[in-house]
Amino acid sequence: MSASLQSGLNALKEQIDAPVAAFFSSCVRCGLCANACLFHTETGEPKYTPIHKLEPLRRVWRQEYTFWGRLAKAVGLSKPVTDAELGDWQELVYDSCTMCGRCSMVCPVGNDIAYMIRKMREGMAAAGHAPAGLIGATKRAIEIGSPMGVKLPALQAQIRHTEAEFGLEIPVDREGADYLLLLSSMEIMNFPEFIGAVAKIFKQAGVSWTISSEAFEATNSGIQIGVSEIAAELVQRIVTAAEKLKVKSVISPECGHAYMAIRWEGPNLIGRPYSFKVVHILELLDQLRAEGRLKTTGMESQRLTYHDPCQVSRRGGVVDQPRNLLNMVAENFVEMPETGTMNWCCGAGGGVSSNERADEIRLKAFNRKKKQLDAIHPDAIVSACSNCRIHLEDGLEEYGMDMPVISLTETIAEHLAGNEAAGSKES
Amino acid sequence: MSRISNDTEFRKALDALDATRQRQVAARFVEHVLGLCSDERITHVAAVAGNSDASEAALAEALKTARAATFDCHTRCGSEGDWSEQAGYFVARAATAALTPIAQMPSGPAWQAALSCRMAQTSKSIVTGDDTAGQEGEQQYRILSEFLDS
């Protein structure tokens, strides 16, 4: 047995905790999870059944932690997990699973399959079977501080651009601010207007905030690839910066998995509670709305719909807030057939977007989103995740669908009352 | 002669233009930063956008091309970013904005194109380390002033 396979099997064994054992024991093989997974529904291929993606982990559990499994292993009646098998499973665990958690929602015995995929990735990474794209992103995250290689001078340039554009100050390293804003590299590189949108809104609402020059990156490649030590290191950088600046809250930006990483996995990864709160940007905006500190003017007359980012809505519980905010600015808001906690994934989360090998299956799976959109024919799609946004655009392009994808935070900023002088249009 | 000296005046003047003239001036903004984009499709797209006699079919085809180029130029999540290529992405995005119908872009195609062109210059400044990104806005004031006077 190779050292990498041994390492992978050890990692898989270590990942089998009480929930995983209970989930495997409880599975009744009903197959309901298959119809909840867009990779299965849009391909019809049984191998994409979510619980099947965990087969190597299930076998390790059975062979190592059950009486009959151990007996079968002892007398040579069980099939060992091999390196080649883990290699074959890479496509199922990384390319065709976004850890969106929809399968977990429909399991009649309550198995959290997405939780188990996350654990399975720990073994896959330890065995050397993670996709090259994710390995590169993770390396850059550790060495540079950003999976896309965004360095501080680049952020500073975007900040200078934004300050000049909107005539607003973007506070950096301001000790004692109430909120520390994190950004995803996708926002810094592809959607820098997000920074300006937040600055405009916070100015109107009188929010005390800052960005840290030492830890501005929100995303966590360690979670996506499945290496908890790296994931913990990335979380710790944010915690250290937040505590150094003595902020009361950390804001997760328009990025789905960043929110899941810092809000839900973070304290468990570093082994202690935070000394601050974590909120998603939409949670904060909705709070400002409720407090009467967020005032908008004009309504979008377009037929708008909202794409729920899986990690924000389904796994994060931020479902009502975006709708409250959209009610402020959209007079023709229309829901897709399945929304909120049961929305369908864009197909690119969980590291799939970093993995070029997955492009074909990702775009095939996008047909599910197309069906949702075909049912309501919106003029534009609003969302709150930069990764969803770019991959919705890709999918729409692939399927010849003509509709823009826009950021909810930017849409709110565009409608801020009394903001004309800062470059925003009052409609 | 029209003289625009700040963004408030700039945006007000853009908003006063009809759809065709917004598209035309947006094309001029794009042409000013065309050197930052290596995708030759955008040169053609900018020419179509700037043509007041372009047919609906030609405009639709150009928009489709611009969108495809924008997606091809973007930095995918998790991949290593290259700010030179990113400048090209913003130029392609500006071209897309120039051709997007106003109904789909309530903030204004020309304004959005202008912003994306400025972002292209910012991306270039990240590579070169110079501090000329802010000058693109000044150039756009000049381009719009000349356009209004033409």
- Kindly determine whether residue A302 and residue B76, on different chains, have CB atoms separated by under 8 Å: no
Q: What pLDDT shows up at residue B129?
A: 83
Confidence label for B3 from pLDDT (cuts 50, 70 and 90): confident
Total domain count, chain A: 3
Range of the domain at A249: 135-288
CB crowding B13-48: b at 16 or more within 10 Å, else e: bbeebeeeebbbbbbbbbbbbbebbebebbebbbeb
In a domain, A427, yes or no: no
Do A284 and A302 lie in a common domain? no
Same domain, A75 and A174: no
C-beta atoms of B104 and A353 within 8 A = no
Chain A contact probe: residue of B76, B86, B104 with most A CBs at under 10 A: B76
Q: Do B77 and A390 touch (CB under 8 A)?
A: yes
Task: Give the nearest chain A residue to B90 (CA atoms).
Answer: A190
Contact across the interface for B133 and A404, Cβ inside 8 Å: no
* Amino acid in the structure at residue A63: Q
Looking at the fold, whether A238 and A319 belong to one and the same domain comes out as no
For residues A97 and A196, membership in a common domain is answered with no
Same-domain check for residues A283 and A297: no
pLDDT band of residue B23 (cuts 50, 70, 90) is very high
Say if A313 falls within a structural domain: yes
The answer to whether A168 touches A203, Cβ cutoff 8 Å, is: yes
Which of the listed residues A130, A146, A161 is the one where a domain comes to its end?
A: A130
Q: Does B56 touch chain A (CB under 8 A)?
A: no
pLDDT number for residue A427: 31
Q: Which residues of B touch A420 (CB under 8 A)?
A: 8
Residues of B in contact with A193 (CB under 8 A): 115, 119
Q: Do A25 and A119 reside in the same domain of the chain?
A: yes
- The reply to whether B135 touches chain A by the CB within 8 Å rule is no
Q: Is A239 inside a domain boundary? A: yes
Q: Are residues A126 and A152 in the same domain?
A: no
* Cβ within 8 Å, pair A397-B71: yes
Subunit contact B103:A302, Cβ cutoff 8 A: yes
CATH number for the domain spanning A23: value is: 1.10.1060
Q: Which of A134, A158, A423 sits opposite B78 (nearest CB)?
A: A134
- What is residue A426's predicted lDDT score, i.e. its pLDDT? 34
Chain B residues with beta carbon closer than 8 angstroms to that of A397: 67-68, 71
pLDDT tens track for B75-89: 888 889 999 999 999
One domain, residues A126 and A140 = no
Q: What is the pLDDT along chain A (427 residues), one digit of tens a residue?
A: 788 889 999 999 999 999 999 999 999 999 999 999 999 999 999 999 999 999 999 999 999 999 999 999 999 999 999 999 999 999 999 999 999 999 999 999 999 999 999 999 999 999 999 999 999 999 999 999 999 999 999 999 999 999 988 889 999 999 999 999 999 999 999 999 999 999 999 999 999 999 999 999 999 999 999 999 999 999 999 999 999 999 999 999 999 999 999 999 999 999 999 999 999 999 999 999 999 999 999 999 899 999 999 999 999 999 999 999 999 999 999 999 999 999 999 999 999 999 999 999 999 999 999 999 999 999 999 999 999 999 999 999 899 998 889 999 999 999 999 865 444 333 3
Closest chain B C-alpha to A413 CA, distance in angstroms: 11
From chain B, pick out residues whose CB is under 8 angstroms from the CB of A404: 100, 104-105
Which residues of chain A have a CB within 8 Å of the CB of B75? 148, 186, 189-190
| Interface contact A390-B78, CB threshold 8 A | no
In a domain, A126, yes or no: yes
Q: Is B52 an 8 Å CB contact of chain A? A: no
So what's the pLDDT on residue A419?
A: 60
Residue A173 is part of a domain; what is its CATH number? 3.40.50.1860
pLDDT recorded at residue A307: 98
Contact A427 B106 (CB under 8 A): yes
Q: Looking at residue A423, what is its pLDDT? A: 43
Mean confidence (pLDDT) of chain B = 92
HEC letters along B3-49: CCCCHHHHHHHHHCCCHHHHHHHHHHHHHHCHHHCCCHHHHHHHHHH
For position B75, what pLDDT does the model report?
87
Question: Which pLDDT score, from 0 to 100, does residue A421 have?
Answer: 43
Do A126 and A139 reside in the same domain of the chain?
no
- A145 CA: distance to closest CA in chain B (Å): 12
Is there a single domain that holds both residue A251 and residue A234? yes
Domain annotation covers residue A174: yes
Q: Are residues A52 and A140 in the same domain?
A: no
* pLDDT value of residue A3: 80
Among A237, A255, A288, give the residue marking a domain's end.
Answer: A288
Q: Which of A13-22, B4-13, B74-83, B131-140 has the lowest mean pLDDT?
A: B131-140
Tell which of A102, A130, A158 closes a domain: A130
> Within a domain: residue A212?
yes
Whether residues A146 and A84 share a domain: the answer is no
Option in B70, B104, B126 nearest A153 (CB): B126
Gap from B31 CA to chain A (nearest CA, Å): 21
Q: Kindly list the distances between the CA atom of residue A340 and the CA atoms of A147, A259, A426, in Å, as whole numbers in the listed order.
A: 29, 16, 30
